[in-house]
Chains A and B, each alone.
Chain A
Amino acid sequence: MTTKTIKVDYLTRVEGEGALDLHIEDGKVTTANLRIFEPPRFFEAFLRGRSYTELPDIVARICGICPIAYQMGAVQAVEQAFGATVDGQLRTLRRLIYCGEWIESHALHVVMLHAPDFLGYPDAIRMAESHGDAVRKGLALKKVGNALMSLLGGREIHPVNLRPGGFYKVPSREELAPITEELKRARDLAEELVRWVSGFPFPELERDYEFVAMHHDEEYPIAEGRLVSNRGIDIDIVDYENHFEERHVPHSTALHSMVKQRGAYLVGPLARYALNFDRFPQSIQSLAREVGLGPVCRNPFQSIVVRALEVLYACEEALRLIADYEQPDSPAVPLEPRAGTGFGCTEAPRGICWHRYDFEEDGTIRAARIVPPTSQNQPSIEADLAAVATSLVEEGDDIIRDRCEMTIRNYDPCISCSAHFLKLSVHRS
């Protein structure tokens, strides 16, 4: 029997902090724990007693990379609880700002954090020495996503303009016009990005995931739809808790989500893509096929290609939304607080982000529950790690460690969201 320990102190190029424990006994991987011990911040506790009007500003602070995902789920829940409908041009603007978040978040991950894994660099700065053009174009793409966020939200990190019922201020057509040219350039850059990343060398791995994503009658899902899976789930977001459960495990400050009586599931780009491929415009479907992806992709390492396709989609969708935009008469619909429960769910860049709030008569928050995407993916990440480590068990520790870190990065994990600290230690006995 051999005993061996590999240790890495900090998982890098992810948002937040965590650790991995791999136990290998007699050539078999017995445990693959993604340990998340980023300090908890207790949002669900201190939201109690606050007003619904403060909700979007507070929950934005769960995550600096995807604040819109938190704000949008929160305002949806308020509106549902108070019986309000936000549609028409206000709905358009919400989808538009969300496109900005997809572009900036995905471009950051694809170019700055994930691509260096495939090309053998520790970061995008060193990668830029040989791939400067690609890095500069990636930054330019990211900048357009941020510009869209700033235009509609006031700033790119923790935007200030979204509120229950709509917005504080809505732009005129003229104010939106200048970003059109930038988005057209971004669309071209995104297409280049798809071609660039699809040429990367992908490790072989196919996993039989239960994909869970939103699904909408007419559009690729961003901010609304039903929750569906490839194993028969097809529910309103209100019924989420009847089908999914969270478990608190000793090695993580993030709660683990499971499909009840079934187990791990996967949210994020691969799931959205597999369940909504036919919602992409024909041109993007064709490009996906041209670069070697079918309508379903089960190789988690190819999630980088799917993210690039989603950036392209977000650019095209933003252009379409702007072209059809007319300034609404009012920036928000009126709200009448009442006692009740409301739900919200949207497709954060990393996957579905689900919210439930109970309100008192005056709109004071009585209880809050937020399920971020990374905690939902944690069991799938651990299953991927076990599969990857098993396939490499004869290899040296460095190879196992590098591939395991890359496997975690496939998920673009937002550990800050899910709670957070990654140390990697491999114990062999």
Chain B
Amino acid sequence: MPQRPSLAVWKFASCDGCQLSLLDCEDEFLALADAVEIANFPEASSAFVEGPYDLSLVEGSITTPHDAERILEVRAQSKYLVTIGACATAGGIQALRNFADVNDFIAAVYASPEYIGTLETSTPISAHVLVDYELHGCPIDKAQLIEVIAAFLAGRKPAIAAHSVCIECKQRGNVCIMVQGTPCLGPVTHAGCGAICPAYRRGCYGCFGPMETPNMPAMAKEWKLLGAQSRDIQNALRTFNAWAEPFRDESAAHDD
């Protein structure tokens, strides 16, 4: 049997949900463990194999000086590096500090701020090292994760659509929620979830981040026609992908 490619999973600032997606592949997990050597996955295994690694999955954003060093080591040991989820790809919800003074944040949570070592910003992995592929989502979709791993094993490009959630609504047969008067980020949001929120009769809240070429001003205009205030638009764009450029720029345009 030829040697299997090695897989490593790395965590930075995050909720663990995206790496949990791998364990949530209940039907595929044992087969995956046959197809690749799981060389480093601390959340699931105490076994550890030294690098280099053929495929690294990176969860979380960079928020500490130590992590800014650690990601360089991870990159150096990884032949192919994939970021999984909104934290690793866009900085995550913790990037809201980038719009504020982090010292105020620390003082609001901790009684003894002198114990806390943190950076002023939360940044995506691509701000620090070369990333070979970015998987969107808060959380990622596990079928897309399997597709990325399968594509890697087959040496092909992952078949991940880059269009907006609107297309997925059509595929799912959802009646457009925006037409019914509910503000929705679907028109500017990257596909991948399968249009869950509109199917549950609420507007998309953008957890997969911006699609490739979103028309942000057009979206904001529609929201205003539906009665949204500047603050509503800004808050809607400042969640899990707040630091992704199209969302960041448009949210800045709605400062009161």
Digitize A56-89: 1 where CB-to-B-CB distance is under 8 Å, 0 elsewhere. Answer: 0110011111010000000000000000000000
Closest beta carbon of chain B to A14's beta carbon, Å: 7
Which of B111-119, B124-132, B146-154 lies at the binding interface? Answer: B111-119
Chain B residue, CB-CB nearest to A370: B109
CA distance A159 to B43 in the complex (A): 22
- Tally chain A residues at the interface, Cβ within 8 Å: 69
Give the contacting residue for B139; candidates A43, A116, A158, A414; CB below 8 A. A158
Closest beta carbon of chain B to A122's beta carbon, Å: 4
Known: A12-B43, A125-B38. A45 touches B15 (CB 8 A): no
Chain B residues, CB < 8 A from A14: 43
Digitize B185-202: 1 where CB-to-A-CB distance is under 8 Å, 0 elsewhere. Answer: 000000001001101111
Q: Is the CB of A154 within 8 A of B200?
A: yes
- Is A350 an interface position by the 8 A CB rule? no
Chain A residues, CB < 8 A from B17: 61, 63-65, 67, 157-158
Give the contacting residue for A15; candidates B16, B96, B109, B111; CB below 8 A. B16
- Is B20 an interface position by the 8 A CB rule? yes
Q: Is the CB of B193 within 8 A of A155?
A: yes
Chain B residue, CB-CB nearest to A144: B26
- Is A113 an interface position by the 8 A CB rule? yes
- Is A123 an interface position by the 8 A CB rule? yes
Q: Is the CB of A58 within 8 A of B110?
A: no
Which of A46-54, A289-297, A322-330 lies at the binding interface? Answer: A46-54
Closest beta carbon of chain A to B8's beta carbon, Å: 12
CA distance A132 to B31 in the complex (A): 12
Chain B residue, CB-CB nearest to A125: B33
A to B contact number (C-beta, < 8 Å): 184
CA distance A67 to B21 in the complex (A): 14
- Is A4 an interface position by the 8 A CB rule? no
- Is A173 an interface position by the 8 A CB rule? no
CA distance A17 to B96 in the complex (A): 22
Closest beta carbon of chain A to B176's beta carbon, Å: 16
CA distance A40 to B13 in the complex (A): 8
Q: Is the CB of A123 within 8 A of B45?
A: yes
Closest beta carbon of chain A to B256's beta carbon, Å: 12
Closest beta carbon of chain A to B108's beta carbon, Å: 4
Which of B106, B139, B199 has the most A CB atoms < 10 Å from its CB?
Answer: B139
Chain A residues, CB < 8 A from B46: 12-13, 116, 122-123, 405
CA distance A17 to B42 in the complex (A): 9
- Is A189 an interface position by the 8 A CB rule? no
Chain A residue, CB-CB nearest to B11: A17
- Is A108 an interface position by the 8 A CB rule? yes
Closest beta carbon of chain A to B166's beta carbon, Å: 17
Query: Can you give 25 A-B contacts (C-beta < 8 A)?
Result: A10-B48, A11-B42, A14-B43, A16-B11, A17-B11, A39-B12, A40-B109, A40-B116, A42-B108, A45-B108, A50-B235, A58-B239, A64-B20, A65-B20, A108-B20, A123-B45, A126-B47, A142-B24, A143-B26, A146-B26, A155-B139, A158-B139, A158-B207, A414-B16, A416-B14
Apart from the given pairs A39-B63, A46-B105, A67-B17, 12 other A-B contacts in the complex at a CB distance below 8 Å:
A15-B20, A39-B12, A39-B13, A40-B116, A41-B122, A42-B94, A123-B46, A124-B44, A135-B30, A154-B196, A154-B197, A157-B139
